[in-house]
Structure 1
């Protein structure tokens, strides 16, 4: 989906307001006012607030498949590919954290009016690629046969979001307080920690029960 300057501005503002106020707490008029654009222009480009959210999620989360294909086809063994996969996921999560916040709130809302069909379909396709990489590694004898594959992605996301939503605590703990330092920490120390964690989970062999 190629976006022009106005469309990009609308999505940027919508993402910010949805993350701050929630989907129901944000009106199209608010988005138009902050984006300095006519309300009719939002309807022209996106049709409705629900379709605007759908376009936002597609815009933010598309592209992972192509990047993941490069990781799988890249040089190096399975451990290198896992490192690259984790680095890719952490970078994309960090860059799109506002969109993830919107999804986490709205998708868990039992009375939501928004369709997440496209998002779920995208998520399933992305998971299939990760699962394929791990299963191939299992067949090659690199990874343990006892890996709970569906929990690999939540482990990555959960570790990141625990850090980010408690970043003030970690800022005090590590003595840094500038955003650029947070970014550096995410792309280096946190990413390395998650890489080590995932590789440990993938290679851990359950002890044989001799009882």
Structure 2
């Protein structure tokens, strides 16, 4: 692939991500994506083999799953594992809100495309489950249901705080990403009854 081919491919993916986030997959046409990217419609077939494959390519290109997916969960103690998940999910949420919107739309609509999303996302949540279970067995965490605890943490991390919908409830200045990571970490570890540092 030439540099020009790579450049146009990235422009198409960037346009698709923007439009899918704004309008959803079904309401976005290949023509709209190509207009946004300044590309010929035929290039979608050439580079991706169609709109659906282009959607999947978004996750292959933009989703930062290697850092956590390749990590052996036994390399970290449970507390550090939970801290890692909080930090990385929050960093991702604030660095790529478009892909987050796409994921949330697909999950809410329960589309067939969520299977591809699961391949990228579930390794991370599986490691969180492992660290929660290990933390409970080591006496670091206290909770009754592993499932309820896992889904409560996932909900806390994925909840979209910065949408206009919630603006009426904000009384404080918007926090920095680092402050949000710290607050979420304290909140989650507190909910796990972790009594360490």
Residue 19 of structure 1 deviates from its aligned partner by 1.3
SS in 1 for 2:109: coil
Residue 140 of structure 1 deviates from its aligned partner by 1.4
For residue 191 of structure 1, what is the aligned residue in structure 2? 181
- Give the distance between the partners of 2:168 and 2:194, measured in 1 at CA: 29
Q: Deviations over 1:119-155 (max 9, x none)?
A: 1233322211111112111221111142522332122
For residue 52 of structure 1, what is the aligned residue in structure 2? 54
- Give the distance between the partners of 1:142 and 1:49, measured in 2 at CA: 47
Q: If the length of structure 2 is used for normalisation, what is the TM-score?
A: 0.80
Aligned partner (choices 24, 40, 43) of residue 26 of structure 2 = 24
Q: Is the 8 A contact 1:9 1:35 kept in 2?
A: yes
For residue 106 of structure 1, what is the aligned residue in structure 2? 106
- Give the distance between the partners of 1:51 and 1:137, measured in 2 at CA: 39
Which structure 2 segments of 5+ residues have no match?
A: none
Counterparts in 2 of 1:130-209, with a 5 A limit?
130-146=128-144, 147=146, 148-158=149-159, 161=160, 163-166=161-164, 169=167, 173-175=171-173, 185-203=175-193
- Give the distance between the partners of 1:71 and 1:10, measured in 2 at CA: 36
For residue 84 of structure 2, what is the aligned residue in structure 1? 84
Residue 56 of structure 1 deviates from its aligned partner by 0.9
Q: If the length of structure 1 is used for normalisation, what is the TM-score?
A: 0.75
State the number of aligned residues: 187
